[in-house]
Chain A
Amino acid sequence: MATDETLPWDREYALGGPDELSEREQAAVEACLRALADDEFVLAERYTEWQVRGPTLESDLAVANIAQDELGHARLWYDLLEDFGYTESELIWERPLGDFRHATLVERPFERGDWADAIVRGFLYDEFEHLRLDALTETEYPRIADRVGKVQGEEHYHREHARNWLERLATGAVDGDPANGHRRVQEALDRLFPHALTLFAPTVYEPDIVELGVRPTPLSELREAWLDAVVPELEALGFTVPVAPDAHPEAVDTLLPAERGRDGSHTDAWPDLYDELTFTYRQLDRREAPRLMADPDDADGDGGAPR
């Protein structure tokens, strides 16, 4: 089949397999993977709070389905960290709180019963995730390159879901009271926008991640692209965003919250969530995590058992 697109297995890579990396290379790959895996894992944990509590049965199923997708993606990325000898317990269940590298956006609790909060969060996150995955299609690390396409395949639905809901909440097309939906989105936006900026907070490994080509596009460029996409869209729906799309990077930085997530500092919501998600593991006095599914490398086509 003739195609202009270069497939992951037809490319040359500057970096080798997991056993062939130098110390510096491995550190950069790990840092990139930890942000990826932790973001997806913690966001999925938050989303599952909506299970059986969504506004309708259908929206409930949709958000639970998205949570499952994100857990699946987290699994793909954690699995690449296991290449370096870490166990699942070390990566998740017995990992110290402050070692997690997810952005603070994904750990914030939902405003009680506020569906707009879930939608705004999804919108801000999925636009970022879209750009990050796009950038990772050019990675020089073959193990990441192999998996990006699979994850991208599911992200389209997530973006469509967030955008469709956002439009309807903005115009009151859902509950018939335009003021109500609009106000809730604006409030969620005010709360979450600074935390969304932590998605782009660089780690100390950022220069290496870019230079070695683990993710050739720097986070600063991803943030510009994100602001370019997100701000005009929100403004077109009549929302106020605390920053202009072309704002000076330093002006954008002033909006950042004190905790950045990526450096291991987290908001007060994280210890509670961490306690909750590791509760069963501790209660059952586990030392290792049971395996329910085949390793992603051994699974056929679309990753093993049906969901």
Chain B
Amino acid sequence: MIFEVFRQETETDYHTHVGNVHAPDAEMARMFAQVAHARRKPANSLWVVPKAEISEVDADDPGVAMGGTTQKEYRWATNYSTGRMAEEIEASEAEQAEAESRRRRPSAAGDDGGDD
């Protein structure tokens, strides 16, 4: 059986597909996955999934039109963060951040702070 392996580096990361292992059952697969996919890379967690259990929708499948076939760009969130308005908002945000840091500076004098 083939098991697909997804590795999560730290608690705050998503599990990312890193490869697979061949194993007779789930228990052996979990054991092999630790060595095959977490030995040389940091790992906080591994998902070990039987390949057959993974359902797939392929863009080429008949009848599938992911996102539709007609013009629906208005659905794309990215369309709302471009153009003149977005630039103005960005500039305004930068100004506010600048003002904020200037307000803080006098009281923070002498404080080394973090370097992160």
A173 at the A/B interface (Cβ < 8 Å)? Answer: yes
Chain B residues whose C-beta falls within 8 Å of the C-beta of A59 in the assembled complex: 32
A157 at the A/B interface (Cβ < 8 Å)? Answer: yes
Once the chains bind, are B24 and A168 in contact (CB under 8 Å)?
A: yes
Once the chains bind, are A57 and B22 in contact (CB under 8 Å)?
A: yes
Chain A residues whose C-beta falls within 8 Å of the C-beta of B28 in the assembled complex: 164, 168
Once the chains bind, are B40 and A307 in contact (CB under 8 Å)?
A: yes
Once the chains bind, are B39 and A307 in contact (CB under 8 Å)?
A: yes
Chain A residues whose C-beta falls within 8 Å of the C-beta of B22 in the assembled complex: 56-58
Say which size band chain B's interface belongs to: 10 to 19
**Secondary structure dominating the interface of A:** helix
B11 at the A/B interface (Cβ < 8 Å)? Answer: no
A249 at the A/B interface (Cβ < 8 Å)? Answer: no
Once the chains bind, are B24 and A173 in contact (CB under 8 Å)?
A: yes
A212 at the A/B interface (Cβ < 8 Å)? Answer: no
A256 at the A/B interface (Cβ < 8 Å)? Answer: no
Once the chains bind, are A58 and B24 in contact (CB under 8 Å)?
A: no
Shortest C-beta distance, B49 to chain A (Å), equals: 16
A153 at the A/B interface (Cβ < 8 Å)? Answer: no
Of A62, A157, A174, A307, which is in contact with the most chain B CB atoms at under 10 Å from its CB?
A62
Contact check: which of B25, B27, B32 meets A61 at CB < 8 Å?
A: B32
Chain A residues whose C-beta falls within 8 Å of the C-beta of B24 in the assembled complex: 168, 173-174
Chain A minimum-CB-distance residue to B27: A164
Interface string of A295-307 (1 = CB under 8 A from B): 0000000000011
Shortest C-beta distance, A68 to chain B (Å), equals: 9
Chain B residues whose C-beta falls within 8 Å of the C-beta of A62 in the assembled complex: 31-32, 35
A-B contact pairs, 16 of them (CB 8 A): A58-B21, A58-B32, A58-B36, A59-B32, A61-B32, A61-B35, A61-B39, A62-B31, A65-B35, A157-B31, A157-B34, A164-B27, A164-B28, A168-B28, A306-B40, A307-B40
Binding site for A on B (CB under 8 A): 21-25, 27-28, 31-32, 34-36, 39-40
